[in-house]
Amino acid sequence: MENDSIRASGSDTLIDIWVEGKLRAICVSREAIESFLGPKKPEAMSDDDRCEFIRTHLPQVLAAAQASLRGNPDKTTIAITTGELSPEGDRRKGDRRKSERRKVAKPAEVLPHGERRRGQRRNGDRRRSPS
């Protein structure tokens, strides 16, 4: 994303970005950013900190903008206020794998008939000499 497409203006952060086929101006309030961060928020966020927040949380900002467009798809200016940014949908925060994926070594006698290992099937010569 270009440097001039995200900029701070007063207590708001402005973004110019293509959303659903149109160039739209998105305004994210300082309160929206602080409510998103919750207790993890720093004492005071500088303009550069807010711009960096928008850069790193762009998927959430776009999701909030698209939700705002559901009511009026012709809007060119979108204002995101407190409570509209949600941390849901950010898949990269936690570990997506729920269980252990490593294979556990089991002896061949314990395995059912259909689950033989490749090494057991392919011990011999693969090519047979034409007889």
Tens place of pLDDT for every residue, the chain, 131 residues? 555 689 998 889 999 999 888 899 999 999 999 888 887 777 788 889 899 999 999 999 999 999 989 888 888 999 999 888 877 654 555 556 666 666 666 666 666 665 555 555 555 566 666 66
pLDDT at position 129, please?
66
Residue pair 33/50 in contact (Cβ under 8 Å)? The answer is yes
pLDDT at position 78, please?
92
Q: What is the model's pTM?
A: 0.61
Residue pair 26/66 in contact (Cβ under 8 Å)? The answer is no
Structure tokens belonging to residue 5: 């497409």
pLDDT at position 14, please?
94
Query: Which domains are assigned to the chain?
Result: 3-80 (3.30.160)
Sequence-separated (6 or more) residues with CB below 8 Å from residue 84? 32, 64, 67, 68
pLDDT at position 15, please?
94
Measure the CA–CA gap between 29 and 82, rounded to whole angstroms. 7
